[in-house]
Amino acid sequence: MSTLALTVNRRAVDLSAEPRTSLADVVRDHLDLTGTHLGCEHGVCGACTVLIDGVPARSCITFAAACDGAAVTTIEGLDDDEIATELRAAFTREHALQCGYCTPGMLVSARDLVLRLPEADDRAIRVGMSGNLCRCTGYVGIIRAVTAVIADRRARGIAPELGGGHTALGPVGSGHGATPTEGRAATAVPAAAAPAAGITIADFTPAATIEQAFEVQHPPAQVAALFIDVAVVAACLPGVTLTNAADPARIEGEIRVQVGPIAAQFAGVARVERSADGLSGRIIGAGNDRRSRSSTQGEIRYRLTPLQGGQATRVELSIGYTLTGLLAQVGRSGLVRDLARRLVEQFAGNLERRLSGQSISAVAASHQLNGLTLLLAVLRARLPRWLGGPSRH
């Protein structure tokens, strides 16, 4: 599943969808905006046309995941739009619709022509509307309606808009909200000095969950007391650095990961939730890596159970995460699970040393999370299994 942040009809929307899901299916099935119609589902008929960052696009052949951060406007979002209002009146007056199935896409495409054509040129309008097919009208009424609106607006002194709002080079939506659009401020991380700007900590359904457990030779109360100190817990996690831990509801920091030539530095925020007795809790957070344009959401749920008459503690962890972007392409589930197990082993060892009284600096000696080292350990463990021999851990 991919976690998407969109602005749909001037409303911020966060949702999860399969990477193969089209934008048309997202707006229809996830958001119940059924004014966007599906016809050919090959990008030919134009019935599914919507605006992405203000520019018309075929939503049936646009992956929703490619629109993360973009502003999407469907026909429902044009209810109060001045140009769309004038076009609807003209369509009615010129009998430019019959069954109405193609009309939402027609209006979106026609609005773009009204915006950018300098004059009501019949040929330019026919070329501009050629990507929208109609099985009923014969197009004559449609062309007359668009012509009338353009001519009327130019006669009123309303100048055309150069480019029709297309301000970024490349395919429609390639700006990904880089230019702030109405109703949504730009949410990209502006600089390394402010890593948590624009990142929200939202509940989510993890795309993958990994269960891990280990034991430490210390009483649950002692372990729970350590878990209260966020800085100490962070020091036990390889690659984690905190920049602001004053507010448990919004802890800021980063985690650095390197797998071979791929290096990532996720800057983000997290919040900590605990039970009244301190024996269970959750850490939930989100972060972005600017270099790879990857994003992640994650949570760690923990439970402390007494062992050996309360002299030792079993720490049960449930690690859930969702990763999108370039780094998601290398996140094969089997390797990710093995890497997570190795990471938990390092965390357990650091936790045991900290509980035994060692200093934070000693615990944090392996501060950089070197994925290559972990990966080599994983491969050493899995290679005998792949070759048919006994595995060793």
Write down the pLDDT at residue 113.
94
208-386: CATH topology: Alpha-D-Glucose-1,6-Bisphosphate; Chain A, domain 4 (3.30.530)
- What angle (nearest 5°) sits at the alpha carbon of residue 210, between those of residues 278 and 309? 40
Query: CB–CB of 369/343 below 8 Å?
Result: yes
3-state secondary structure 310-364: HCEEEEEEEEEEEEECHHHHHCCHHHHHHHHHHHHHHHHHHHHHHHCCCCHHHHH
pLDDT band at 172; cut points 50, 70, 90: low
The CATH number of 2-165 is 3.10.20.30
Q: Specify the DSSP class assigned to residue 188.
A: S
Write down the pLDDT at residue 62.
93
**Residue 362 confidence (pLDDT) above 70:** no
Stretch (H or E) spanning 12: strand 11-17
Report the range out of 122-131, 184-193, 197-206, 314-323 with the highest average pLDDT.
Answer: 122-131
Determine the Cα–Cα distance for residues 27 and 217; give it in Å rounded to an integer: 53
Say how many CA atoms lie within 13 Å of 21 toward its Cβ.
Answer: 21
Write down the pLDDT at residue 377.
53
What are the pLDDT digits (tens) for 147-156? 999 999 999 9
**Non-local CB neighbours of 93 within 8 Å, separated by 6+ positions:** 145, 148
Torsion (CA) 39, 43, 44, 48 in degrees, nearest 10 = 40
pLDDT mean over 367-385:
49
Write down the pLDDT at residue 252.
85
Task: Classify residue 235 by burial, with Cβ atoms within 10 Å: 0-12, 13-18, 19+.
Answer: buried
**Non-local CB neighbours of 149 within 8 Å, separated by 6+ positions:** 83, 86, 87, 90, 110, 114
The percent of the chain in helix, strand and coil, each rounded to the nearest 5, is 35, 25, 35
Determine the Cα–Cα distance for residues 276 and 280; give it in Å rounded to an integer: 9
CA distances from 42 to 38, 60, 300 (A): 10, 7, 42
**Residue 393 confidence (pLDDT) above 50:** no
Determine the Cα–Cα distance for residues 18 and 4; give it in Å rounded to an integer: 10
Write down the pLDDT at residue 148.
97
Closest listed residue to residue 340, CA positions, set 319, 358, 356, 368: 319
pTM greater than 0.75 (yes/no): no
pLDDT mean over 217-233:
85
Task: Classify residue 125 by burial, with Cβ atoms within 10 Å: 0-12, 13-18, 19+.
Answer: buried
How many residues are present in the chain?
Answer: 393
Domain boundaries, the chain: 2-165, 208-386
Q: What percent of the chain has pLDDT over 70?
A: 72
Determine the Cα–Cα distance for residues 296 and 318; give it in Å rounded to an integer: 16
pLDDT mean over 20-27:
94
Is the alpha carbon torsion for 25, 76, 72, 144 positive or negative?
positive
391 by DSSP, 3-state: which? coil
Q: Which residue has the higher pLDDT, 87 or 198?
A: 87
Give the number of other Cβ atoms within 10 Å of residue 359's Cβ: 10
pLDDT mean over 266-294:
81
Closest listed residue to residue 146, CA positions, set 207, 90, 188: 90
What are the pLDDT digits (tens) for 66-124? 888 888 999 999 998 999 999 999 999 999 999 999 999 999 999 999 999 999 999 99
